[in-house]
Chains A and B, each alone.
Chain A
């Protein structure tokens, strides 16, 4: 019989990035007992990596901005596959969520009149991103963390949840282990919020850390929740490409927001060569107009470098593919050129983009105030995820909620930069609020102990498997190679069918994974256990990508270049687990936009 510690909470939050922390703070406003579990130390989650800013129509810099403009931008960016109600709530509530951070100690950069400064970003019509240089995520997570630690929340750092527990239809708890000693913990809870972030570790070239193995997606799927639009994986156009060890590390879109330009080996600003129809009216038709836009000229339109991420990433791939790439297989991103335009350009760049300056200086020996960077696409974010109710963030499993990157709906086929930090604040708060409400309205349900022993055995299996079994790091690496190659930016029926076969083979191999050593802080064992989630989400991504026979937003099919499948209309793909434990997929039409929404979109042109 496995031994374990038990903890009782009204609300349990899994994940302590921006969404998890915000949910925990909200759930703890009443008298409820709130627990927070995270895989790393507090304050280290991926929110800390967000650079450019948080999108909110504060209208501090341009009074023409409004929630309606933000709503329309989000819908257009998502190719109208977003959940419109979520886009509305997000646009309406993000200004308050940003202001509230200031009341908790966050210090955003200021305008001349002392309010929160906002910057331009891809796909946003007006300067909308509240920011702190290029370390906005750090500012946000620290403000949430420093406020959160005084709200009576019990934090379990360096703990991993492996399984959600259900009693009847309802979620009733979670099973996990703490990393330090490898001891098991059982959490009972009246409501659970998943806020586990993304799936970036499924790919070789990624801006994501070891944590992002799709835990929340996988936990929800196995508990009976649905995953939607999993094919939409955002490849951020600008990751570092050289040296090899830093490949994939993010280069903020803020570089382009501050006037940085993309060029190919021929010195051509290739982004001017291909401007999508949806954005022709909003895009500059000269380099000068583009420059003026970045400098705050309200009459100018945005340069094509600030088109949506899916499009910019595809253009970069095209340049490299057609032989016009940089020496190490990317393209050039040049901010140094602004010295032709403004005095003290070097100092300006170092002040506006301090961490980019240091990142390139220290990791690549490049002085970005003097020479261009080499950049290429990197796996960054998943738009798809756990299907939730727009208002409450509850899944179809009673008592199970999700928020932030692991939830889906807001971003449709492509996310605008800056909309994830606002997403996690708006829907983190909502998830915490409604989870608390659910906990208050529904009493505790007893845990069914019968499954625990089985779960414990499964978790310990890597130690029991015979020596000479599979190396978990090797399997993870093979999976990343296959996903990168077969389910990357360019996909086809052939590549996706093969990907599903490869995932199946790796699933079988993972059964025989062997962990050496003991249960104490054993990274190999942890990696072995994370494989379960990584394989589940990889299958979901490939399956959904195979189902969508069109190229839209972040999803590109070489064999179906058209935006919509003939006669299919707009639809969401929905993955769920069947009774015989296999993964099934179906489509559901995207609900028609209401007249009001249509009108806003038309108005905001």
Chain B
């Protein structure tokens, strides 16, 4: 069996550094397998989040050789193994320990957003009628597994730390899934403009590039939301209508 070296971030908020571990690798292994093997054989107390191991739960987000990835979907075949593979926690969130970061901010952001508010049911049995083609685009947003890799890679959060003024790509996708939901009646545009900081996004598409669910975050969610905000608040003709329409 071949061997490879994994350079893993170890430590907590006070003190942390890379530690090299050499371990055996075999066909088909993913980075998470290597981390688990190291944990079982050499570093029992190594902290790492994971659950489904199939790219469906979004728990094992990390930075592999500097790239934001789900460890369970990153195959060793696709990485050069002749040099150490670096495995680091997501850098946009405070470190708890080793590969585990404090992502609680994301949960708080979601709680503050206006919840889904459906129109009255279409049928007497309390159900709604929706065409498949009208929900296709919302279903794309609902594929999100909340891995927060898009948040990790977003400059506004990662470099400028504007967590208090900007909700990040994940929650623009969430907002889009509600705003474009065929039976939702709520309007979230004012919040998107004033509280959620959608204006900070300068459409570099870094989020789209790292999304393991291949959601076209920028083009399908953020840009249409920006357009809606512009339409509602900055369109001069509509503004005029509002002024005179009272």
Chain A residues at the B interface, C-beta cutoff of 8 Å: 40-46, 48-49, 99, 102-105, 107, 109-110, 113-117, 132-133, 135, 138-139, 142, 146-147, 149-150, 157, 180, 209-211, 242-246, 249-250, 355, 358-359, 362-364, 471-474, 477, 515-518, 520-525, 527
Max chain A Cβ within 10 angstroms of own Cβ: one of B97, B115, B135: B97
CB-CB under 8 A for A147 and B116, given A110-B132, A114-B130: yes
B225 within 8 Å of A by Cβ? no
Whether the Cβ atoms of B44 and A113 lie closer than 8 Å is no
Whether the Cβ atoms of A149 and B110 lie closer than 8 Å is yes
Whether the Cβ atoms of A521 and B51 lie closer than 8 Å is no
Contact residues in B for A146 (Cβ distance below 8 Å): 110, 115-116
Chain A nearest CB from B98 CB (Å) reads 7
Whether the Cβ atoms of A522 and B51 lie closer than 8 Å is no
8 Å CB interface, B101-148 against A: 102-104, 107, 110-111, 115-116, 118, 121, 125-132, 135, 138-139, 142-143, 145-146
The 30 sampled A-B contact pairs (Cβ below 8 Å) are A41-B49, A42-B107, A43-B57, A43-B146, A44-B57, A44-B58, A48-B52, A48-B145, A103-B121, A105-B178, A107-B181, A110-B130, A110-B132, A110-B135, A114-B128, A114-B131, A138-B56, A149-B107, A149-B111, A209-B50, A210-B50, A243-B29, A245-B28, A246-B54, A250-B54, A358-B55, A359-B54, A471-B44, A522-B47, A523-B47
Contact residues in A for B125 (Cβ distance below 8 Å): 99
Chain A nearest CB from B166 CB (Å) reads 20
Closest 4 CB pairs of A and B: A243-B28, A524-B44, A517-B45, A114-B129
Residue from B39, B47, B59 in contact with A40 in the complex, judged by beta carbons closer than 8 Å? B59
CB-CB under 8 A for A135 and B55, given A209-B50, A363-B28: no
Whether the Cβ atoms of A139 and B142 lie closer than 8 Å is yes
A173 to B48, CA, bound (A): 29
B195 within 8 Å of A by Cβ? no
Whether the Cβ atoms of A132 and B28 lie closer than 8 Å is no
Max chain B Cβ within 10 angstroms of own Cβ: one of A43, A44, A117: A44
Chain B nearest CB from A330 CB (Å) reads 14
Residue from B29, B44, B145, B181 in contact with A138 in the complex, judged by beta carbons closer than 8 Å? B145
Residue from B12, B57, B59 in contact with A520 in the complex, judged by beta carbons closer than 8 Å? B12
Contact residues in A for B128 (Cβ distance below 8 Å): 102, 114
B229 within 8 Å of A by Cβ? no
Contact residues in A for B46 (Cβ distance below 8 Å): 523-524
Whether the Cβ atoms of A524 and B30 lie closer than 8 Å is no
Contact residues in A for B131 (Cβ distance below 8 Å): 110, 114
Contact residues in A for B56 (Cβ distance below 8 Å): 48-49, 135, 138, 355
Contact residues in A for B29 (Cβ distance below 8 Å): 243, 245
CB-CB under 8 A for A105 and B181, given A243-B29, A521-B97: yes
Chain B nearest CB from A464 CB (Å) reads 16
Interface string of B1-44 (1 = CB under 8 A from A): 00000000000100000000000001111100100000111001
A45 to B103, CA, bound (A): 17
Chain B nearest CB from A482 CB (Å) reads 17
CB-CB under 8 A for A103 and B47, given A110-B132, A245-B30: no
Chain B nearest CB from A393 CB (Å) reads 25
B188 within 8 Å of A by Cβ? no
Interface string of B58-82 (1 = CB under 8 A from A): 1100000000000001010000000
CB-CB under 8 A for A44 and B59, given A132-B139, A363-B75: yes
Residue of A nearest to B47 (CB): A521
Chain B nearest CB from A600 CB (Å) reads 23
A45 to B145, CA, bound (A): 12
Residue of A nearest to B51 (CB): A209
Q: Given A517-B45, A520-B97, list of 8 further CB < 8 A pairs?
A: A99-B125, A114-B129, A150-B115, A157-B104, A209-B57, A362-B73, A473-B41, A520-B96
Whether the Cβ atoms of B28 and A147 lie closer than 8 Å is no
Chain B nearest CB from A171 CB (Å) reads 28
Contact residues in A for B115 (Cβ distance below 8 Å): 146-147, 150
CB-CB under 8 A for A209 and B110, given A363-B75, A517-B44: no
Contact residues in B for A515 (Cβ distance below 8 Å): 44-45
B100 within 8 Å of A by Cβ? yes
Contact residues in B for A104 (Cβ distance below 8 Å): 116
Interface string of B140-179 (1 = CB under 8 A from A): 0011011000000000000000000000000000000010
CB-CB under 8 A for A49 and B52, given A132-B139, A522-B45: yes
